[in-house]
Amino acid sequence: MGQVRKGEQFAGLSTALMTPFKNGQVDEAAFKKLIDLQVEAGADGIVPCGTTGESPTLTHEEHDRVIELACQHSAGRLKVIAGTGSNSTAEAIRLTKAAEKAGADGALVVAPYYNKPMMDGMYAHYKAIAESTSLPIVVYNIPGRTGKNIEPDVICKMGEIKNIVAVKESTGSMDQSSQILAGSDLTILSGDDSLTLPLMALGGSGVISVVGNIVPKDVKAMIDAFKAGKLEEAQVWHYRLFNFCRDLLSLSTNPIPVKAAMQLLGRDTGEVRLPLLPLDDKLMASLKKTLTTYGLM
């Protein structure tokens, strides 16, 4: 079925893990429980220190420790794709090397934000990171947060570099994904839960999921149904998850509503770091309604 793609070791469901906090510190015990939850649900991988993991407010020491802990506690039960991106190429290299030393299976490298490099600078950034490590690199393209899209022809050119193997595609553009799939042998992973099934229909291989923190078994069931050729079953899961994601993630900036949901379900303190703030009482009531409608409360 279709072309063999470079990053298929990261196919399926990888959950973009939250970083639990308690009294301002990383809650390591809670983090281990989140990993165990993913193992029990049959997830294929986890992504520590991504957007959902509040990587922008982790100290360098915390960042390294969270990745180290993810690798240690996963103990080969899951793939660990460590978030190691930065808008500083030197810092991204340092983080990636630390993740490799910790035992990560791959690195998720977000496009350099704020600097807004030209496309040749974008390419040079990823090339320098890839050449500094033997880890497989997943390019994370999320222009809504970084301020600049990595153009698809540049991503295809990146795909010629041996250890750049996949793209976490968060542009929301089916045309961009189609161009990458047609023009390279890169694996595409959805960066938006609502687009996982449509992207897989184009030739995508799975998702790095936010809602997988809450309902990993359901996301996995949708992916497995599609892979087994059970399209109608996959569609049922898609629309169920689509409505849930829409109602959940529209409440506030990720990961605020996800952490609040995990708090209500007894899996996390719900604590976020400034400049993020917790949901107010009105939004919390909406969240409870959403969780009840889905059957979680």
pLDDT 10s digits, 6-35: 999 999 999 999 999 999 999 999 999 999
Residue 116 annotated in active site: no
Computed on alpha carbons and rounded to an integer, the radius of gyration of the chain in Å comes to 18
- 140 belongs to the catalytic site: yes
Query: Residue 274, CB half-sphere, CA atoms under 13 Å: how many?
Result: 2
- Give domain 8-230's CATH superfamily: Aldolase class I (3.20.20.70)
Report which secondary-structure segment, H or E, holds 206: strand 206-209
What is the rounded distance in angstroms from the CA atom of residue 138 to the CA atom of residue 47? 11
What span, in angstroms and rounded, lies between the C-alpha atoms of 211 and 218?
10
pLDDT in tens, 235-274: 999 999 999 999 999 999 999 999 999 999 999 999 999 9
Sequence-ordered alpha helix ranges (H) in the chain: 28-41, 60-74, 89-102, 119-131, 143-146, 152-158, 174-183, 196-202, 216-227, 231-249, 256-264, 281-294
What is the Cα–Cα distance from 137 to 127, expressed in whole angstroms?
A: 10
Percent of the chain with pLDDT over 70: 99
Give the model confidence (pLDDT) of 99-157 as tens digits.
999 999 999 999 999 999 999 999 999 999 999 999 999 999 999 999 999 999 999 99
Residue with tokens 């992973």: 189
Which among 79, 168, 220, 259 is annotated as catalytic? 168
pTM as predicted: 0.97
Q: Which of these is catalytic: 140, 220, 259, 294?
A: 140
